[in-house]
Amino acid sequence: MHRSSTRSSTRRSTQRSLRLIVTGLIATIALAVATVGSAQSKLNVVTATEDLAAIAREVGGDRITVEPIARGYQDPHFVEAKPSFILKLQKADLLVVVGRELEIGWLPPLIQQSRNAKIQPGGPAYLDASLHARILDVPQGTITRALGDVHPLGNPHYWLDPDNGKLIAKDIADKLGELRPADRAYFQMRLDDFQKRLTEAEKRWTASMAPFKGAKVVTYHQSFSNFADHFGIVVAGYVEPRPGIPPSPQHTLDLENQMKQQNIKIVLVEPYFDAKTPNAIGRDTGAQVLVMPPSVGGVKGTEDYFKLFDYDIAQLVDALKKAGGGTR
Amino acid sequence: MRTTRWLIGCLVVVALVDCRPAFAQAGQAGDTQSLRQDITRLRQDFEALQKQYNDRLAALEAKLAASEGAASPNAAAPAAAAPGQPAQTAQVPTGAEGAGGPSGSLPVYGGASASSKIFNPDIAVIGDFLAAAGHNPVNPGRAFEMHESEASFQAVVDPYARADFFLSFGEEGVDLEEGFITFPTLPGGLLAKVGKMRAAFGKVNTLHNHVMPWTDRPLVTNNLVNGEDGINDAGVSVARLIPNPWFFMEATGQVFRGDSGNLFASSTRSDLSYIGHVRGYHDITEGTNIDVGGSYAYGHNDAGFTADGSSLVTQLYGMDVTLRWRPLRRAIYRSFVGRSELIWSRRDEPLGEQQAFGYYVSGDYQLARRWSTGARFDRSARATDASLYDTSGSLLLTYVPSEFSQLRGQYRRIHFGDEATANELLFQLQFSIGAHGAHPF
């Protein structure tokens, strides 16, 4: 009994030591490593998407560094909340988000774990880029999930309207000026220049699209509402029966009948969706299927905000010409 | 005769009364004008007096209100909080006014109005329905079971904290699965949680049922880490990122009361349990990453007491590895998650220490937007009798109609250490309503 008690006491002592060692190790690792990061000369801007990153680069110039989280070729609704993004957010001087619940499935836990007080929602370095933009498709009446994965606060793909691009840029420039007052004039100058160039490009894009005003297209997801509204085309149907719900055979059949009746000859597909169903629709209706990126970086040749519109409009105009100069 | 006299008398009286206006009219005709003038003068005097008292009363009320306002600057805030909206009010109870209480009407606090809903937490409910068929002589479970209805309430508390509550409703009772406050921006890069929470021991222990890739929990969890409830206790958690140039690293330290079902049991206030966890994560490519963790848990158990009177101890050591692959361009169609957890248990028993080991290895492959398959192999000794090993294999098929519902089938075969064998087909239907939660990672 005595020997057993001694053995037990020795073991407990060893366990205590081991526990202390493990706890000590964790504490040492946690506290001994010095905190990295001192005052940086450039503002470190993190954006939710590449579109916002492209606009931030336009107004921030060489006074900021920009890192997007979601890539242009991935579905921005379904980004994985990887811990490596926490590290980006931890060091962010400014976080710009698309808002309208686009990032609701992945950004909140990242922000929460970032240990960065400034970028918490409502914080001085948190910017919701949608606040002054023109938002479409705000659902009216009774809203339930029977409508699909609807965004109760409106369509979050609003950056595909150049006028909204200007408003987003202004919000970013104002926020950058707020965070770095010494560079306020610089950001304002770059904003003016960006808006001027965008106005000029917009004239070019509008002129290209003008002959096709009222042309009808079908898109996979509700990504192009603002684009269609700005450039005068009509989105007459969607490959998805409801937002976020994959295509069903019955809906596809109904959509094909509608396209035949209304002589719709173009289907736009975001690069991250499977083109199998759109291609089948194309075969059945004779429509052209275009992989049309809604985001900067979605495909090669869309590396900035201007190139995105250049690419999309060139593709669309080409397809509309082939379709016979307008599918009204 | 007497009657006749009485009648005549009455008639005379009636006649005299009936003739009274005629007499008055005749007697006062000349004074009517002066009487009217008197009445008009009296009325004017009365109205002047009334006005004088009203003015004095208003002045006194204004003075009183000013002195009350100075004493309590917030007193008028509720009324001013919603300009343009009709204030919801209630009358002062009878008698209260005279007793020196408030006068007039009172604001109704908590009354329904659009603005009062703004601060309500995000609310969601996730239902978990289970069905089982086949043969299980050890732990047969029920044919149909509304296994869990998890209600979540999540909101920001103030500029410094947020709160999360998860209430787990079974068919027969309710339990606080988790309820904690998080301080996300403490000095020193610390992230602190206080409340009841799932401990940061390995992977499975941190996961709620609805984000598990299976209908059940692995044998190693059931045998060594308190089954479905796991290490889930009230206490304090502190986590810190460890800066380094190579990969994401986080260290977490937790202290709990020391009660976690059959794993830890505290018999005194000092019988606390301690959890330590270190996690490393690295992106191998943009679509592939590896997640490695090491865990340690220490607590007292209910097996008995040592010679010096303190309760016996259980220690757990864990290691987890997760490999994920999800190509960004096809992220909603294809993915793979391979995972393994290894757990060592050292449990003091009155007759000596039991050293048990268990592990699982699983793989889940998403083959289409709505379909995924999976397999899992488990093997684990029992915490109280390490000589008995249970072994299990499972095959899974999952169908996801939308982000908010999911159907899953699992074939499971378990060979229990005492020779019994179970062959089962498990079915699960999950569905969620309410606020859109974060996607599991």
Q: Which CATH number fits the domain that encloses residue B348?
A: 2.40.160.10
Contacts 24+ apart (CB under 8 A), B207-212: B207/B440, B208/B150, B208/B166, B208/B177, B209/B128, B209/B147, B209/B148, B209/B150, B210/B126, B210/B128, B210/B150, B210/B430, B210/B432, B211/B440
Q: What percent of chain A has pLDDT over 70?
A: 87
Among B346, B338, B343, which residue's Cα sits nearest to residue B321? B338
Query: Cβ contacts (< 8 Å) between B240 and chain A: which residues?
Result: 30-31
What pLDDT is stored for residue A13 in this prediction? Answer: 57
Answer yes or no: is B267 within a domain: yes
Question: A276 and chain B: CB distance < 8 Å anywhere?
Answer: no
CB–CB of A149 and B402 under 8 A?
A: yes
The CA R_g of chain B, rounded to the nearest whole Å, is 40
Q: What percent of chain B has pLDDT over 70?
A: 77
CB–CB of A116 and B185 under 8 A?
A: yes
Backbone angles phi, psi at A49, to 5 degrees: -130, 170
- Residue A326 pLDDT class (50, 70, 90 cuts): very low
- Residue A36 pLDDT class (50, 70, 90 cuts): very low
**H-helix or E-strand spanning residue A225:** helix A225-231
Query: Cβ contacts (< 8 Å) between B366 and chain A: which residues?
Result: none
Per the structure, the complete domain to which residue B242 belongs is given by: 185-429
- Residue B250 pLDDT class (50, 70, 90 cuts): very high
A24 pLDDT more than 90: no
Mean pLDDT of A36-44: 65
Q: What mean pLDDT is reported for chain A?
A: 90
Mean pLDDT of B228-238: 97
Q: Are the CB atoms for B317 and B324 separated by under 8 Å?
A: no
What pLDDT is stored for residue B101 in this prediction? Answer: 52
What pLDDT is stored for residue B317 in this prediction? Answer: 98
The CA R_g of chain A, rounded to the nearest whole Å, is 26
CB–CB of B274 and A80 under 8 A?
A: no
Distance from B130 to chain A by nearest Cα, in Å? 23
What pLDDT is stored for residue A2 in this prediction? Answer: 47
Query: Cβ contacts (< 8 Å) between B162 and chain A: which residues?
Result: 112
What b/e readout covers A30-51, taking b as 16+ CB neighbours within 10 angstroms? beeeeeeeeeeeebbbbbbbbb
Q: Are the CB atoms for B314 and B300 separated by under 8 Å?
A: yes
CB–CB of A12 and B276 under 8 A?
A: no
Answer yes or no: is B334 within a domain: yes
Tell me the C-alpha distance between A112 and B438, whole Å.
12
CB–CB of B191 and A113 under 8 A?
A: yes
What pLDDT is stored for residue A1 in this prediction? Answer: 39
B391 pLDDT more than 90: yes
Q: What is the pLDDT of residues B264-314, one digit of tens each?
A: 999 999 999 999 999 999 999 999 999 999 999 999 999 988 888 889 999
Nearest CA in chain A to B327: A74
Site from B240, B246, B271, B289 to mutate, A interface, most A CB atoms within 10 angstroms: B240
CB–CB of A80 and B439 under 8 A?
A: yes
Considering only CB atoms, A33 lies closest to which of B243, B279, B404, namely B243
Distances (CA, A) of A284 to A264, A318, B355: 12, 21, 66
B432 pLDDT more than 90: yes
Answer yes or no: is B424 within a domain: yes
What pLDDT is stored for residue A150 in this prediction? Answer: 86
What pLDDT is stored for residue A328 in this prediction? Answer: 44
CB–CB of B328 and A74 under 8 A?
A: yes
What pLDDT is stored for residue A90 in this prediction? Answer: 95
B66 pLDDT more than 80: no
- Residue B82 pLDDT class (50, 70, 90 cuts): very low
- Residue A163 pLDDT class (50, 70, 90 cuts): very high
What pLDDT is stored for residue B15 in this prediction? Answer: 40
Q: Are the CB atoms for A195 and A166 separated by under 8 Å?
A: yes
CB–CB of A33 and B329 under 8 A?
A: no
Q: What mean pLDDT is reported for chain B?
A: 84
B195 pLDDT more than 90: yes
What pLDDT is stored for residue B34 in this prediction? Answer: 66
B12 or B367, greater pLDDT: B367
Q: Are the CB atoms for B313 and B349 separated by under 8 Å?
A: no
Question: B331 and chain A: CB distance < 8 Å anywhere?
Answer: yes
Distances (CA, A) of B169 to B126, B152, B172, B334: 10, 11, 8, 34
What pLDDT is stored for residue A19 in this prediction? Answer: 62
Spatial CB neighbours of A205, under 8 Å, sequence gap ≥ 6: A162, A231, A309, A310, A313
Answer yes or no: is B100 within a domain: no
A257 pLDDT more than 80: yes
- Residue B77 pLDDT class (50, 70, 90 cuts): very low
What pLDDT is stored for residue A208 in this prediction? Answer: 97
Nearest CA in chain A to B295: A22
Backbone angles phi, psi at B415, to 5 degrees: -105, 110
Distance from A194 to chain B by nearest Cα, in Å? 30
CB–CB of B439 and A78 under 8 A?
A: yes
Total of domains in chain B: 1
Q: What is the pLDDT of residues A47-75, one digit of tens each?
A: 999 999 999 999 999 999 999 999 999 99
What pLDDT is stored for residue B310 in this prediction? Answer: 83
Which residue reads 């009183």 in tokens?
B64
Tell me the C-alpha distance between B260 and B224, whole Å.
12
A316 pLDDT more than 60: yes
Chain centre to alpha carbon of residue B89: 31
Mean pLDDT of A240-266: 96
**H-helix or E-strand spanning residue A169:** helix A162-179
CB–CB of B333 and A274 under 8 A?
A: yes
B147 pLDDT more than 80: yes
Distance from A188 to chain B by nearest Cα, in Å? 31
Answer yes or no: is B237 within a domain: yes
Answer yes or no: is B62 within a domain: no
Domain annotation for chain A: domains and CATH numbers: 43-202 (3.40.50.1980), 211-322 (3.40.50.1980)
CB–CB of A78 and B307 under 8 A?
A: no
Answer yes or no: is B199 within a domain: yes
Q: What is the pLDDT of residues B18-57, one digit of tens each?
A: 434 433 443 444 466 666 777 777 777 777 777 676 767 7
Question: B301 and chain A: CB distance < 8 Å anywhere?
Answer: no
Structure tokens at B434: 């309410």
B35 or B320, greater pLDDT: B320
Question: B270 and chain A: CB distance < 8 Å anywhere?
Answer: no
Tell me the C-alpha distance between A47 and A58, whole Å.
13
- Residue B87 pLDDT class (50, 70, 90 cuts): very low
- Residue B438 pLDDT class (50, 70, 90 cuts): confident
Mean pLDDT of B185-191: 90
Question: B155 and chain A: CB distance < 8 Å anywhere?
Answer: no
Q: What is the DSSP letter of A239?
A: S
Q: What is the pLDDT of residues B92-105, one digit of tens each?
A: 554 454 444 555 55
Answer yes or no: is B313 within a domain: yes
Mean pLDDT of B147-157: 96
B74 pLDDT more than 60: no
Tell me the C-alpha distance between A295 and A273, whole Å.
13
What pLDDT is stored for residue B98 in this prediction? Answer: 45
Considering only CB atoms, B185 lies closest to which of A37, A84, A117, namely A117
What pLDDT is stored for residue B41 in this prediction? Answer: 72
What pLDDT is stored for residue B21 in this prediction? Answer: 40
Predicted TM-score of the model (pTM): 0.79
Q: What is the pLDDT of residues A10-22, one digit of tens each?
A: 555 556 655 655 5
Residues in chain B: 441
What pLDDT is stored for residue B104 in this prediction? Answer: 55
Distance from B190 to chain A by nearest Cα, in Å? 7
What pLDDT is stored for residue B356 in this prediction? Answer: 98
